[in-house]
Amino acid sequence: MDLSKHAFFEGRIVPLGEAKVNIATHGFLYGTSVFSGMRAYWSEEKKRLFVFRPYDHFHRLLNSAKMMAMTIPYDEESLIQLTLDVLQTDDWKQDVYLRPTIYKADMGIGVRLHDLKDEFSMFVMAFEKYVKNDSNAHVTFSSWRRIDDNVIPARGKIAGSYANSALIKTDANRAGFDEAIVLDNHGHISEGSAMNFFMVRDGVLVTPPITDNILEGITRNSVIELARSEMGLQVVERSIDRTEVFIAEEAFMTGTAAQVVSVTKVDYRPIGAGTMGPITTKLRSLFDDVVRAKLPKYNKWNVEV
C-alpha cells in the first residue's frame, strides 16, 4: 500500500511512523472511533489535486462525533485547511484516499463514551479502484443484516459498526461475488457493505430512504443531484423489496471508494440486459467529470489543493 509519508496526529503533522496509538487506547479496544473516507482527484488537465466535497465529509464526521459524545477543537473549515496542509506536505500528484478519524484516546478499560478525551488523526494513501469489476459487478444478498439505528447509529460512520460491513464483504467475496446487498431488520434493502444502493424501475431512479438504516452517502447525494439536474430523471427515495431488484432495468452502488459500480447480475439473475445500462453509464461519466473538476457548475464541490 502506498501510504502517505506524513500524517496529522495529536495536533500536528508528523512522519507517519510517529503517528502511533497505544494498544490500551479506548478507540482500539472498543471501536469507539468515527471516521470518514474522502478522495482527492488528480486533474491531468489542470495539473492540480482537488478534494471532493470535504465540507460535507467533515460535516458528517462531526455529526458522527456528536452521536458518540466526542468533541474536537476543529470545525469543518479548519479541518479542510488541515487537509490541504497534509496533502501539500507530501505533494501528491495522483488520486488519493484520505482517512480522517476521531477517536477516544484515553488508555485503559471501561466501556463508556463520557469522561474520555478525544483526538483527531488523518493519513492519506494512493488509491484507484475499490471494486475490481466496477462495470459488471455480480452481487448477492447477504445473509447478514445491516446494523439497526437502535443498535449503533446507522447514519454515523462509526468504526465498531464496520465489523458488520467486514462480515458482509468477506462472505460475499469468499462465495465468489463482487459485493453484497444488505437487508435491514425489516427486510428492506439498506445498502452494500460500504456503498449505497440504487435501481432503475420504469425509468425512475429509486434508492432507499435515510430512514432505512443507510449511511447518508455523499456520493449518493451527488448522484441524486446529477440525475435530477443533468439528466432530468425522477429520483424517488423509498423502501425497496428484495425481489424488485431482480426485475429492475438497472442497478448500481455508490461510495467514495467504490464511486459508481454497475451491478449487472444479482444472485445469478441478469439485471436488465445483463450489461451496464444507459443511465448508469451516463451517471458514471458525469460523476467522473465532476470529481475531476471538469464541470464548472459543480466546482463548489471541488476544493483545490
Give the count of alpha carbons within 13 A of 291, CB side only: 24
Among 195, 263, 266, 286, binds ligand PMP (CB under 6 A): 195
Nearest approach, Cβ of residue 99 and ligand PMP (Å): 11
Contact pattern for ligand PMP over residues 17 through 56, marking x by CB under 6 A = --------------------x-------------------
- What are the cell numbers at 8? 496529522
Q: Which is nearer to ligand PMP, 207 or 264 (CB)?
A: 207
Q: Choose the catalytic residue: 93, 132, 157, 282.
A: 157
For residue 106, CA distances in Å to 14, 91, 114, 117, 221 come to 20, 33, 11, 6, 35
Q: How far is the CB of 15 from ligand PMP (least distance, A)?
A: 27
Q: E strands along 127-195, which residues?
A: 137-145, 179-183, 189-191
Residues 6+ apart with CB under 8 A from 245: 181, 189, 199, 251, 266, 271
194 near ligand PMP (CB under 6 A) = yes
Does position 181 interact with ligand PMP (CB under 6 A)? The reply is no
Other beta carbons within 10 angstroms of residue 93's beta carbon come to 11
Question: 231 exposed, middle or buried (CB, 10 Å; 0-12, 13-18, 19+)?
Answer: middle
Residue 157 is among the residues annotated as catalytic for this protein: yes
Binding span for ligand PMP by CB under 6 A among 9-17, 26-34, 188-196, 289-297:
188-196
CB of 14 to ligand PMP, least distance (A): 26
Contact positions with ligand PMP (CB under 6 A) in 203-222: 215, 217-220
List of residues contacting ligand PMP (CB under 6 A):
37, 165, 191, 194-196, 215, 217-220, 254-256
Catalytic residues, which ones?
157
